[in-house]
Amino acid sequence: MIRLARYVIRKRIVVAVMILAQLSFLMLFVYSLSQYALPVYATLIALSIVVVIYIVNRPDNPSYKLSWAILILVVPIVGGVLYLIFGGKKIPKALRKEMVKSSNENAPFMIQEPAVLNQIRHLDPHIFKQINYLWRNSYFPVYKNTQTEYFDLGEAKFEALKRELKKAEKFIFLEYFIIKRGLMWDTIKEILVERVKAGVDVRVIYDDFGCHELPHDYNEHLNGLGIKTYVFNPLKPRLAILMNNRDHRKIAVIDGKVGFIGGINLADEYINVVERFGHWKDTAVMIKGEAVWSLTVMFLTFYNYLSKSNEDIMQYKNTDVPEYITDGYVQPFSDSPTDDEQVGETVHMNIINLAKRYVYIMTPYLIIGYEMQKALITAAKNGIDVRLMVPHIPDKWYVHAITRSNYEQLIKGGVQIFEYKPGFMHAKSLVADDEAAIIGTTNMDFRSYYMHFECGILFIESKIIRDLKDDFIQTQKQCIEITMEDCLRVPTLKRWGRAVLNLFSGLL
């Protein structure tokens, strides 16, 4: 009973119930008006028709447009009103303004070395196109003098993060979608408090939705310990699409010398101390050297917006970077819903389209539109070895149902699909041709591609590529390969249920 009470009073549940109550009242009000006033009814129908025409002609993902068009046509009386409330990219004006302003101000700090670009151009013109796209559209350069280390599980990243945090002398920046009290976070917090006492500038940003299990005043608690903490996009019980825009990034920066990025949050399931959905498989990477500067800028851009400060970012640049043994090329990047550039999706698509021999992908969700599905199938039909690795034990049944609804078409097109049998696959990684790899926070779903703030690192000619490929091959031994026979054995009713859910995949 106590557990049930705690669950019911969680902030996320309370906010969801209040929003649902507001939505129900609004829909009932609109419906009642339409029943008693013919002009109102006609106006609502006309509004829905106009909205559908508007949606179809918008430069959005076709699956997203289709989901909204179907929803509006199914309930035309209230459909147009629903789109006006929830449709489109209604980023808070203040956030959009400040993020654009920050990007423009930080652009001069992101200087691309022409010699590095020229080296890549001569190395491989196709890879150069990918690098150049990121530089021109996310404004983050590619670096050479950077050391890398790959982590194939959360436990390995946790040990490295603890070790590096304890060495901090100047500053620690942590930005995570999920922070949850337990062994992992309590251990890290203890280190942070100790570093604060030693005079280190410690700052934390966490997403309010992802950290819904934390007390509502937890940021004040951390601030009281000397940890400068801000909450991104606090949950509020109001009808607004902006509640969907979450900070899904996972970034750690220590002294501008060391940086971490990947799918691993600060919660015990990520290090398999507690079991939620079987064994938790995830990946991350640590970098040292020049490329850490990009992660520093990513964090401070957010921090300046949340703190409403305008401090000089250059004071946090590490100007004493040692010469590392060259480990290929490293290009951190971020993706933001405040612009109309789908960086995460485009980078994934580019790697798939440019592949010459193989593409191996790890993703927890496979909620993709026509273009991505077509790219995967076309690559397979061209003779590319295309493999997807997804969870066998899901965290959200409806999302997993949509993931599985894509299997038949992909397998028919030659794509191999593997489910991670021991549990939940949370890694967001791509590797291709022993030449390029991405490790980051971007899932293959609409939320990551269009609604969330995300980040990642592109690696070219790096040992990370070999490590990621080896990890994929070893992990595949623990997977179940999905066959066409498996797809055809799914009961008809379940297949129809998945098909219906897939119709609205762009809204989930």
CATH code for position 496: 3.30.870.10
- What is the number of structural domains in the chain? 3
The mean of the pLDDT values for the chain is: 87
Q: What is the pLDDT of residue 72?
A: 82
Per the structure block, which two tokens stand in for 261? 């990025």
Helix (H) or strand (E) holding 27: helix 11-36
Q: What is the pLDDT of residue 103?
A: 61
In a shared domain, residues 159 and 285: yes
pTM of the model: 0.87
Q: What is the pLDDT of residue 5?
A: 43
pLDDT in tens, 214-268: 998 999 999 999 999 999 988 765 555 556 788 999 999 999 999 999 999 999 9
Is 335 a domain residue?
no
377-to-58, 347, 367 alpha-carbon distances in Å: 26, 17, 15
If you ran DSSP here, which 8-state letter would residue 112 be given?
-
Mean pLDDT, residues 174-195 taken together? 97
pLDDT band at 6 (very low <50, low <70, confident <90, very high): very low
Rounded CA-CA distance 253/183 in Å is 21
In a shared domain, residues 182 and 283: yes
184, 266 contact by CB (below 8 A): yes
In a shared domain, residues 170 and 69: no
Structural domain span for residue 414: 343-507
In a shared domain, residues 349 and 447: yes
In a shared domain, residues 348 and 443: yes
In a shared domain, residues 308 and 368: no
Highest mean pLDDT among 126-130, 334-338, 474-478: 474-478
Is 133 a domain residue?
no
pLDDT band at 74 (very low <50, low <70, confident <90, very high): confident
Mean pLDDT, residues 282-288 taken together? 97
Q: What is the pLDDT of residue 44?
A: 75
Of residues 302 and 250, which shows the higher confidence score?
250
Mean pLDDT, residues 295-309 taken together? 91
Domain stops at, among 305, 329, 353: 329
**Strand bridging mode 416-420 / 284-289:** unpaired
pLDDT band at 507 (very low <50, low <70, confident <90, very high): low
Is 101 a domain residue?
yes
Which percentage of the chain shows pLDDT scores above 70? 85
Per the structure block, which two tokens stand in for 25? 């009242």
- CA-based nearest residue to 139, from 341, 431, 286, 350: 341
Strand order in 436-440's β-sheet? 329-335, 454-460, 436-440, 429-432, 358-362, 385-391, 416-420, 479-482
Highest mean pLDDT among 26-35, 121-130, 147-156, 364-373: 147-156
Q: What is the pLDDT of residue 99?
A: 60
Mean pLDDT, residues 327-349 taken together? 90
pLDDT in tens, 406-448: 999 999 999 999 999 999 999 999 999 999 999 999 999 988 9
Which amino acid is residue 12, in one-letter code? Answer: R
Mean pLDDT, residues 491-495 taken together? 86
Reply yes or no on whether the pLDDT at 179 is more than 70: yes
In a shared domain, residues 111 and 240: yes
In a shared domain, residues 247 and 226: yes
Q: What is the pLDDT of residue 1?
A: 43
Q: What is the pLDDT of residue 3?
A: 45
If you ran DSSP here, which 8-state letter would residue 490 be given?
S
Q: What is the pLDDT of residue 9?
A: 47
Is 337 a domain residue?
no
In a shared domain, residues 297 and 216: yes
pLDDT in tens, 52-69: 888 878 777 777 777 788
